[in-house]
Structure 1
Amino acid sequence: MSETLELGWEEWVGLPDLALPAIKAKVDTGARTSALHAVAVEPFGTDKNPQVRFIMHPNPDDPAIEVICSAKVIDRRMVTSSNGVAESRYVIRTPIEIGGQSWPIDVSLTNRETMGYRMLIGRSALKKGVSVSPGQSFCQPKLEFDLYKKKSRKGGVKSRPLRIGILTQEPKNYSNRRMIEAAEARGHVIETIPTSRCFMAINNEKPEVHYNGKALPRYDAIIPRIGSKITFYGMAVVRQFESMGVYCVNPAIAIGSSRDKLLAHQILSQHKLGMPNTAFARSSRDTEGIIDLVGGSPVVVKLLESTQGKGVILADSRKAATALVDAFRGLDAHFLVQEFVKEANGSDIRCFTVDGKVVGAMMRTAKAGEFRSNIHQGGTGRKVRLTKEERAVAIKAAKALRLNVAGVDILRSDTGPKILEVNSSPGLEGIEKATGKDIAATIIECIENNVGTVFHSPVKKPRKRVIKKKT
C-alpha cells in the first residue's frame, strides 16, 4: 500500500543521484512530462550504454553554484514546450526525494534559464498516493540552497557515470585494458586518447584539447599514461586538461618531477627520505670525485631519462666506472652515479600507492646474471609483506612528488629502506599477478573519490562607472 503524500503547486525536491540536494520545482498536473534545467549537454558512451553529461545551476539567483551531472539516457524524444516550440530532448531516469519519500521519475533535459523554476514536475511523475493541492505551496518541508555549500568539490561521485580518458600511445597494453574493464564494471565510460595526436587551443576564454580536427568533449577525469619519449609534450597536454578544470590522476608537475631522476632525488632528499648515495657532475675533471662521493666502486650509472631499467648500468670497478662516465659525457648525456647496494642481492620492492595508501607490494628479483630487477628486464615478482617503515616511506615518497598513483621502488639495505625510483605510470600486470589484487579498480575508485561535482565559481561583478563631477 502506497504512502499518501500531499504536494502544493511548488515544492522543494532533491535528486540525490545527480548530486542535487535542493531544487525548487513547479508541480503542474496540466503538463504530462517532467523537465530539468540543463546546459552544456553532451552525450557520451556507446549505443549499448548511452550517457549524457550536463551542467545544472540549481539557484536562479546564484549562477556561481554549478553542479556537473551525468546519467544514463533512456530515450530521446520530441517535446513541445508550453510556448508551443518542439525540441529534441534527452530523457533520463533518476530518483526524486520529496517529504521523506523517494521514487524514480523520467525527466527530460532542457534549458530553463528563462523559467522561474529549475524543474517542472508533470503528472506522469506522480506516483500512486500523491495528491496535488493547486491552491497551496510547500506542503512538504522546505530545503535550502545552503546545502550546496556543504558539498565538497571532492565528495565522491559513485552514484553517477563518469567520462574518463586515458592519455596513452599504447591503448591495448595490459594496464590500459584493465583500467577500461574496471571503469566499465563500475558503470563509467572510458576512452583512450592518443597523446601525440592531441593539439591544443590555448586561450583564456575557452581552452580546448583537439583530436582529429575536433575539440575533445569535457572529461570528468584523465589518466595520464605518457610514454617516456613524449614526456614534454604529454605534460603539456595534461596541463591543458588541468586548465579546463578536468581532474588529472597525476598532475603534469608531478609527472615531470618523477621523470627527471635528478629532480626527483633532490625532492626526496629534501623530505629526508633514504636513498642510495647519489652524485651528479658535469665536468670530466670531477669523475673521480663523484665515484668517491658514492663510496667507490662498484657503482650504478643511470641516464636521467631512463625507464623500465633501460639506461641503467653497473660498473664493477673504478676503471670501468671511469670509462662509462667518460663515454656518457662523450654522448652529451645526463646521468647520475649511485652506490651499489650489494646486500639487496638483485632484488627490490615495488610498492604501488593510490591516493595516499599502499594498495599492493611485490618483491622483484633479477634474472640470473642481471642486477636489474625490472619485470621488463626479465625479473620476476612475488607478493611481499612490507614493514611498517617501508610502507611509511612509500607513502611519503609519493606525497613528496605529489603523485596520486605511483610505483615506489625500494631497496632493503643494512641501514633501512632506500628509494631507488618513483614511477608516475607504473604498470599493472606484474603487481596484479603477484598480489592477486584488483589494482585497476582501486585507481577508478580513487577517481570517483576525487572528481569534483559541485563548484562554486566566483562571478565577476560589473565595474561601476564613476562619473567625476566638474569642479
Structure 2
Amino acid sequence: MINKIVVGSEEWCALPQLGIPTIKARVDSGAKTSALHAVNITPFTKENEQWVRFEVHPLQANGKTTVSCEAKVVDRRNVKSSSGKSEKRYVVKSVISIAETTWEIEVTLTNRDSMGYRMLLGRQAMSGKLLVDPEMSFNLGEISPNLIEQYYKTHEKQSTGLKIGLLASNPDLYSNRRIIEAGQQHGHEMEFINIKDCYIKLDGKKPEMHYRGGKLLNDFDAVIPRIRPSITFYGCALTRHFAAMGVYTLNTASAITQSRDKLHSLQMLINDGLPIPTTGFANSPLDTEDLIDMVGGAPLIVKLLEGTQGKGVVLAETKKAAESLINAFKSLKANILVQQFIKESNGKDIRIFVVDGKVVESMMRTAAPGEFRANIHMGGSAARIKITAEEKRIAIQAAKTLGLKVAGVDIIRGSNGPLLLEVNSSPGLEGIEGVSEKDIAGAMIEAVEKGVKKQKNK
C-alpha cells in the first residue's frame, strides 16, 4: 500500500505508445474498464494480425487538436456505458504514465464527445498501482496551458472547409461547445458570435453585420442560430440580416419566430393535420368558465405564451384553482393557453430530435417525483427510446410545417395516440447526446454542409 500512488478523482496522464503526451482522465473505480475517446476507427491487417487506426481529440472542447494512432487489437467486447447502453468496442493495449510511473493497461475505444472527459481510468488499470482519494482533484498537479500548447502545437488541424458562425449568447453552454467542436472535427473554421455584440447596417446595395469594436462579419459561409427566448426578436433580426448577406442559416429567422409563438405554431400544426391536446385561447375573463369546459375541465394545464423549457407551465387540479389561475394571468395582461391535461402520460413525454428532415435520435423524459412536467432541468430523468412510425411521422412533419432544419419535437402519448406538445427551434444537446452517445452536433454540421452546397448550386 505504501508504494501506491494516491490520485484524485481527475488526473493528467500520458499514453506515450499512442503518441499522447498528456490527457485529462476521470478516475472512476466504479468502472471496470478504461475508455479512450476515439473517432474514425478503422480496422486493418498488419503482419496477419488485426490492428486498428483511429484519431484522438485529447483536449476537451477542442476538435482541432488531433492525434492519429495505430494499435494492435487485443479484443472486441461488449461494454455497458454509464447510460446503460451496450456497445461493442475495440480493445487495445497501451503504456500509461502517471507521476513518472509507467505500466501497461487495456483501453476500449469509443466516442466520448458527450462525456466530460476524453479518458476514463477504470479499476482494472488501477489495480496494484493507485489509491483513489475522491475528495482530491489533480493530486499529482495541474498542467499549464502553455505546456499543453507545446505538447500539441504540431497536432492542430488546419481548417480546410467552411467558415461557420455560431450565433448564440453563452459560449460555455454544453450545446454550443459541442457544435463548435463538431465543426472543427469536420475541418471547418468555427467562430462563436455573441448576439449582444452584433449590430447591423441596413443598405440596399451592401448590407453589413458589425461586431463590437467595429469588426465586419462579412466572410461567413453559414451561421447556426441558437437564440434564447428572451432575445428572440433581436436574434432573429440578426439571423435575417445574415441571410440577406447571402449567408446560409441552418434555421431561418421566420422558422424560429413561428416556433416561438406557441399559439401561431399550434395553429400551423393543426392546419397541417397534426394532433395536439385540446387547447383554448381567450382574451376576456368573462369566458373563463367556458374556456375550462372547452378543454374537458380540470385538471388542466395553463401555459404562458412566452414560457420556455417548462417555465410558465402550471397544472390546475380543480376548477376553482383553474378559474383563479386564469383570471390572475389575465389581470396581469399575460397571454395564456389553456390545454387539456393528458393524465395517462404519467408525467412522461418524448423529445424527438429532427435534423434536415430526418429523426436522428429520441428520448423519453420522466418527471421528478411530485412534478407533472417531464423536465430534466427540474430533477427529471431521461432514457433512450424507440419511437413508433406514427411518432416519427409527426415529428418530421412538425419540423417541416414550421420550416425548421433542426428541431426538438415534444410528443406525449395519449390514450388515443401520440399528441404534439411543442416544437423547439434551439433544442439542447446534452440530454440527447448523453442518453444516446450519438454525435448529434456532427449531424447538425453535416446539415450545414449540405445546405451551403445546395445554396451555392442554385
How high is the TM-score relative to the length of structure 2? 0.64
Q: Distance in 1 between matches of 2:301 and 2:342?
A: 9
1:272 matched to which residue of 2? 273
Q: Distance in 2 between matches of 1:336 and 1:47?
A: 46
2:3 matched to which residue of 1? none
Query: Aligned partner of 2:393: which letter?
Result: A
1:206 matched to which residue of 2? 206
1:444 matched to which residue of 2? 445
CA positional deviation for 1:47: 12
CA contact (8 A) 1:166 1:222 kept: yes
- Residues 453 and 358 from structure 1, CA distance in 2 versus in 1: closer, same or farther, beyond 3 angstroms? closer
Residue 451 of structure 1 aligns to a residue whose secondary structure is helix
CA contact (8 A) 1:291 1:297 kept: yes
Residue 172 of structure 1 aligns to a residue whose secondary structure is coil
Query: Aligned partner of 1:292: which letter?
Result: D
Matched, 1:369 2:370: yes
- Residues 320 and 242 from structure 1, CA distance in 2 versus in 1: closer, same or farther, beyond 3 angstroms? same
2:240 matched to which residue of 1? 239
CA contact (8 A) 2:407 2:425 kept: yes
Q: Deviations over 1:12-66 (max 9, x none)?
A: xxxxxxxxxxxxxxxxxxxxxxxxxxxxxxxxxx9999xxxxxxxxxxxxxxxxx
Q: Distance in 2 between matches of 1:47 and 1:340?
A: 48
Query: Aligned partner of 2:174: which letter?
Result: Y
1:171 matched to which residue of 2? 171
CA contact (8 A) 2:261 2:305 kept: yes
The within-5 A match list for 1:393-408 is 393-408=394-409
**Which segment drifts farther, 230-239 or 214-223?**
214-223
Q: Deviations over 1:128-181 (max 9, x none)?
A: xxxxxxxxxxxxxxxxxxxxxxxxxxxxxxx95010011111111100111111
CA contact (8 A) 2:239 2:252 kept: yes
How high is the TM-score relative to the length of structure 1? 0.63
Q: Distance in 1 between matches of 2:268 and 2:380?
A: 28
- Residues 374 and 456 from structure 1, CA distance in 2 versus in 1: closer, same or farther, beyond 3 angstroms? closer
Matched, 1:185 2:185: yes
The within-5 A match list for 1:452-471 is 452=453, 455=456
Q: Distance in 2 between matches of 1:257 and 1:411?
A: 21
Q: Distance in 2 between matches of 1:454 and 1:304?
A: 34
Q: Percent identity?
A: 54
1:94 matched to which residue of 2? none
CA root-mean-square deviation? 1.9
Greater C-alpha Rg:
1
The within-5 A match list for 1:115-126 is none
Matched, 1:283 2:284: yes
The within-5 A match list for 1:304-315 is 304-315=305-316
CA positional deviation for 1:214: 2.2
CA positional deviation for 1:250: 0.4
Q: Distance in 2 between matches of 1:445 and 1:285?
A: 52
Query: Aligned partner of 1:200: which letter?
Result: I
Matched, 1:325 2:321: no
CA positional deviation for 1:431: 0.4
Q: Distance in 1 between matches of 2:264 and 2:356?
A: 22
Query: Aligned partner of 2:161: which letter?
Result: P
Query: Aligned partner of 1:219: which letter?
Result: F
- Residues 456 and 176 from structure 1, CA distance in 2 versus in 1: closer, same or farther, beyond 3 angstroms? closer
Q: Deviations over 1:227-248 (max 9, x none)?
A: 1110011110000001011110
1:295 matched to which residue of 2? 296
Give the gaps of 5 or more residues in structure 2: 1-62, 67-158
CA contact (8 A) 1:308 1:377 kept: no
Q: Distance in 2 between matches of 1:343 and 1:190?
A: 45
Q: Distance in 2 between matches of 1:433 and 1:222?
A: 25
The within-5 A match list for 1:77-92 is none
2:422 matched to which residue of 1? 421
CA positional deviation for 1:455: 4.6
Q: Distance in 2 between matches of 1:216 and 1:47?
A: 22
Residue 204 of structure 2 aligns to a residue whose secondary structure is coil
1:60 matched to which residue of 2? none
Q: Deviations over 1:325-380 (max 9, x none)?
A: 01101111111000000000000000000000000000000000001112222211
Residue 452 of structure 1 aligns to a residue whose secondary structure is helix
Larger RCO, structure (CA 8 Å, separation 6 or more) = 1
